[in-house]
Amino acid sequence: MNQTPSNPGHWLVCPQPNAGAETRLFLFPYAGGAPTAFHTWSAGLPGHVETWIAYYPGRGSRYHEPPINELHVLVEKINHAIQPLLDKPFIFLGHSMGGMVAFELARRLRRNNLPQPQILFVSACGAPHIPNPNPPMHTLPDADFIKSLQALNGIPAEVLSHSELLQLLLPALRADLEAIENFEYTPDHHRLACPIIAFGGSHDPCVSRERLEGWALHTNTFRSHYFEGDHFFINTARESVMAEIMSSYAKR
């Protein structure tokens, strides 16, 4: 029986290790997100799926590590950490910033002739070749920065009401947004071999349908699926999102 590798470093955490799992689902959080963003997922997925969550520095138990404000640096760190976990079929899902992390990681694996995801799910994330029309947020003064995050429903109410906790989160949020807002996509004229399925929110003010459907350019097999909700539909429609992931995987 395959055993779960014990040394992926602190870049990836597994809430419920399952040595008998047939498939690994790698989840990449949004800006400011920690593994807690997906902490309920493992219990809601079939027993043959083992969940691993990317853990970016500058938050949670990694609070005292400086956050990373360059996407390619973040991807390279995760690329190194994930390799012992590629001995089973796997799926990538990234939400918002995490979608771009997952996509660039899949490209990095391909360039290194390493296994590819069975499916790449990009959620609330615009295609990399289409310019983001939204003004950058990471340089805003704190008050305006927080208002912009509130408009996206990107900060839980319990955090907004706790000013000290909010101040602790701001450096990681700024670094993550700087990483994604300053990211420059470099085309290499090679589509990914794996299917890409794009998830969108029906009322997402940040990612238009045009930007979401643009992911079709990066694979030979593309499909989109929309859920009721805003930019963070992945929280409000979590069970529907998880059901769609497993249904898509079963049909691949």
Q: How far is CA 9 from CA 43, 50, 55, 97, 167, in A?
A: 23, 17, 10, 21, 28
Strand 222-227 relative to strand 196-201, pairing: parallel
Residue 252 has, within 13 A of its CA and on its CB side, a CA count of: 19
Residues in the chain: 252
42 catalytic? Reply is: no
Selecting among 42, 96, 123, 148, the annotated active-site residue is 96
- 1-7, long-range: CB < 8 A, 24+ apart: 2/87, 2/88, 4/50, 5/84, 5/85, 5/87, 7/84
Residues annotated catalytic, as ranges:
96
